[in-house]
Chains A and B, each alone.
Chain A
């Protein structure tokens, strides 16, 4: 407890924060977080609309497995996480075609992946703290090469999302009519799962596998509470994700508390505020429409 209070008392030690900002590894961490915030903010409203929160969770666990495998054989953690997430997206896409099965398929795959990851970490002779970070994140471990890879992956995800945006939105909110208009729903589903997989793998690096939903789901869920416009929801979601990712890191610098604690706290705080604001909004709208009832 004292340790926590001691750490929190340093949050407002701006001198120390400023000093830490001078370090290249901190700057790289912030760049990585900014890229992640952008990508996850864009994807989050679609993830929420498509009810894919649990799929994100499952994908993150397999990204963790991939990262653990990469650590063991001495390949970059980012590459391992990406590989794991892509395998997860393909597995979930293949096994979970039926909507009724999707939930249980994810449950089955993610528990196995997590177990496999634990085994891979146990086989690794490296010291334990390094392994722990794969689950809860360790932004300061991001190298400049990682930042380049993260940035490139983020760019690819954003470009593909922009290309698919309208049919994806159509298929997500209104699949029957979208199919009637010729939207290739069978193709969009796995492609979007792949995009989510890549974004999730990026998130594993920053907040860790367990907490990736704080960036991939929460900002979208929060934004969708306060606006009825898909475009505005996406913009807000990006802002929320950036505030959580970048803000979380900035807050964590001086206290030296794990980044993920702050990222998730900021993200959840935004979500709570949006729920309250959204509740008031729905009250106002329903009162307005009942007056002019049809």
Chain B
């Protein structure tokens, strides 16, 4: 079969044979995400254009870039919440649309209303059928089983019945992953899911997302301002800056030459003890501000 290729980057697709592009039943699986000549602008301001991108099933794509480069906007396009100003976008072979159950969404960790009247299994259940009308009295048993499985996959069974308001940020984020995977999506869209977590929880949460891509063949688009916690998991990087972008493996993109070109200024990338340190890139190491406001 034809392996989906990204036409903008010169290298081969970085995934190897262990990442199957096929479903378990052997049928061909379309790219989890396919963007063709995609452009997005708000009024006169162009975020990016000419974006061609195929994300293969099971691929882990880190989406990097300074604030306002259109990372969150890209997720909104994939979710069908914002239209492209040019080009096309398909999710698992279908045009992107609102309420797409092929997509699981993992937001930033924020206190969930500090709610004491919602437990982990309620939250995960909403990920399965919260968008449906009615009270949901039918299929309770099947629903409970799927919720249990998702909770087990993120090892959150122990606190599934604890009020959310009493859980730590890391525990809440694990429930978020369960909520996103319970509908067995083809794509996981992660919008800064590690923000405000301590390093050990960052590692835990990214590992769980990485494990999902391997076991279920779901692709992950992982928006982050800090690549290091996910670096071992990343297959490719989409780096967006001021209307330009680069796609490629971490080594191809995260180097001084490429980033200097992209930023149009001197940027130095160094590897220090397995970590990437980027110096000179505007905003790169700044405290992150959520860019939801631009949409």
Among A177, A228, A292, contact of B119 (Cβ-Cβ < 8 Å): A228
Among A164, A183, A224, contact of B116 (Cβ-Cβ < 8 Å): A224
Across the interface, do B105 and A180 meet the contact criterion of CB distance under 8 Å? yes
Within 8 A of A (CB), among B199-224: none
Q: Complex formed: what's the CA distance from A292 to B157 in Å? A: 13
Residues of B within 8 Å of A45, CB to CB, are 117
Across the interface, do B107 and A177 meet the contact criterion of CB distance under 8 Å? yes
Across the interface, do B107 and A289 meet the contact criterion of CB distance under 8 Å? no
- One digit per residue, 1 when the CB lies within 8 angstroms of any chain A CB and 0 when it does not, for chain B 89-114 equals 00000000011110101010000110
Across the interface, do B134 and A165 meet the contact criterion of CB distance under 8 Å? yes
Q: Complex formed: what's the CA distance from A173 to B122 in Å? A: 11
A162, A174, A181, A289: which has the most chain B beta carbons within 10 Å?
A: A181
- One digit per residue, 1 when the CB lies within 8 angstroms of any chain B CB and 0 when it does not, for chain A 153-171 equals 0000000001111110110
The secondary-structure label for the interface of chain B is loop
User: Among the listed stretches B10-18, B35-43, B165-173, B279-287, which one makes contact with chain A, having 4 or more residues with CB under 8 Å of it?
Assistant: B165-173
Given the interface pairs A180-B81, A181-B105, the reply to whether A233 lies near B131 with Cβ below 8 Å is no
Across the interface, do B131 and A167 meet the contact criterion of CB distance under 8 Å? yes
Across the interface, do B162 and A228 meet the contact criterion of CB distance under 8 Å? yes
Q: Complex formed: what's the CA distance from A127 to B170 in Å? A: 63
Q: Complex formed: what's the CA distance from A179 to B103 in Å? A: 12
Across the interface, do A174 and B126 meet the contact criterion of CB distance under 8 Å? yes
Give, as a whole number of angstroms, the nearest-CB distance from A171 to chain B: 8
Closest B residue to A48 using CB positions: B117
Given the interface pairs A49-B115, A166-B132, A180-B103, the reply to whether A289 lies near B123 with Cβ below 8 Å is no
Residues of A within 8 Å of B251, CB to CB, are none
Closest A residue to B176 using CB positions: A177
Q: Complex formed: what's the CA distance from A18 to B257 in Å? A: 90
Q: Complex formed: what's the CA distance from A174 to B175 in Å? A: 13
Residues of B within 8 Å of A289, CB to CB, are 159, 162, 166-167
**Is A285 part of the contact surface with B, judged by Cβ < 8 Å?**
yes
Across the interface, do B107 and A176 meet the contact criterion of CB distance under 8 Å? yes
Residues of B within 8 A of A (CB-CB), count: 42
A180, A224, A289: which has the most chain B beta carbons within 10 Å?
A: A180
Given the interface pairs A176-B107, A285-B166, the reply to whether A182 lies near B131 with Cβ below 8 Å is yes
Closest B residue to A171 using CB positions: B130
Across the interface, do B119 and A167 meet the contact criterion of CB distance under 8 Å? no
Residues of A within 8 Å of B116, CB to CB, are 224-225, 228, 278, 282
- One digit per residue, 1 when the CB lies within 8 angstroms of any chain A CB and 0 when it does not, for chain B 179-190 equals 100000000010
Residues of B within 8 Å of A174, CB to CB, are 112-113, 123, 126, 130
Give, as a whole number of angstroms, the nearest-CB distance from A231 to chain B: 9
Residues of A within 8 Å of B131, CB to CB, are 166-167, 170, 178, 181-183
Give, as a whole number of angstroms, the nearest-CB distance from B126 to chain A: 5
Across the interface, do A177 and B179 meet the contact criterion of CB distance under 8 Å? yes
Across the interface, do B105 and A166 meet the contact criterion of CB distance under 8 Å? no
Give, as a whole number of angstroms, the nearest-CB distance from A75 to chain B: 35
Q: Complex formed: what's the CA distance from A289 to B171 in Å? A: 12
Among A49, A176, A285, contact of B117 (Cβ-Cβ < 8 Å): A49
Q: Complex formed: what's the CA distance from A45 to B118 in Å? A: 12
Q: Complex formed: what's the CA distance from A224 to B113 in Å? A: 13
Across the interface, do A182 and B130 meet the contact criterion of CB distance under 8 Å? no
Residues of A within 8 Å of B4, CB to CB, are none
Residues of B within 8 Å of A163, CB to CB, are 133-134
Across the interface, do B105 and A230 meet the contact criterion of CB distance under 8 Å? no
**Is B79 part of the contact surface with A, judged by Cβ < 8 Å?**
yes
Residues of A within 8 Å of B168, CB to CB, are 294
Closest A residue to B183 using CB positions: A181
**Is A286 part of the contact surface with B, judged by Cβ < 8 Å?**
yes
Q: Complex formed: what's the CA distance from A179 to B122 in Å? A: 17
Q: Complex formed: what's the CA distance from A165 to B130 in Å? A: 9
Across the interface, do B117 and A166 meet the contact criterion of CB distance under 8 Å? no
**Is A189 part of the contact surface with B, judged by Cβ < 8 Å?**
no
Across the interface, do B117 and A182 meet the contact criterion of CB distance under 8 Å? no
Give, as a whole number of angstroms, the nearest-CB distance from A238 to chain B: 14
Residues of B within 8 Å of A225, CB to CB, are 116
**Is A129 part of the contact surface with B, judged by Cβ < 8 Å?**
no
Across the interface, do B130 and A294 meet the contact criterion of CB distance under 8 Å? no
Give, as a whole number of angstroms, the nearest-CB distance from B143 to chain A: 11
- One digit per residue, 1 when the CB lies within 8 angstroms of any chain A CB and 0 when it does not, for chain B 122-164 equals 1100110111111110000000000000000000001101110
Give, as a whole number of angstroms, the nearest-CB distance from B164 to chain A: 8
Closest A residue to B189 using CB positions: A180
Across the interface, do B163 and A228 meet the contact criterion of CB distance under 8 Å? yes
Within 8 A of B (CB), among A168-221: 169-170, 173-174, 176-183
Among B99, B158, B159, B161, contact of A181 (Cβ-Cβ < 8 Å): B99
What are 20 contact pairs spanning A and B, CB under 8 A? A164-B133, A166-B130, A166-B133, A169-B126, A173-B123, A174-B112, A174-B123, A177-B105, A177-B126, A181-B131, A227-B117, A228-B162, A229-B122, A230-B118, A282-B166, A285-B163, A289-B159, A289-B162, A289-B167, A294-B168
Q: Apart from A49-B117, A165-B135, A181-B105, list 5 A-B contacts with CB within 8 A.
A: A166-B136, A174-B123, A177-B105, A180-B107, A285-B166
Nearest first, the 7 closest Cβ-Cβ pairs linking A and B are A182-B99, A170-B130, A180-B105, A228-B163, A181-B131, A224-B117, A182-B98
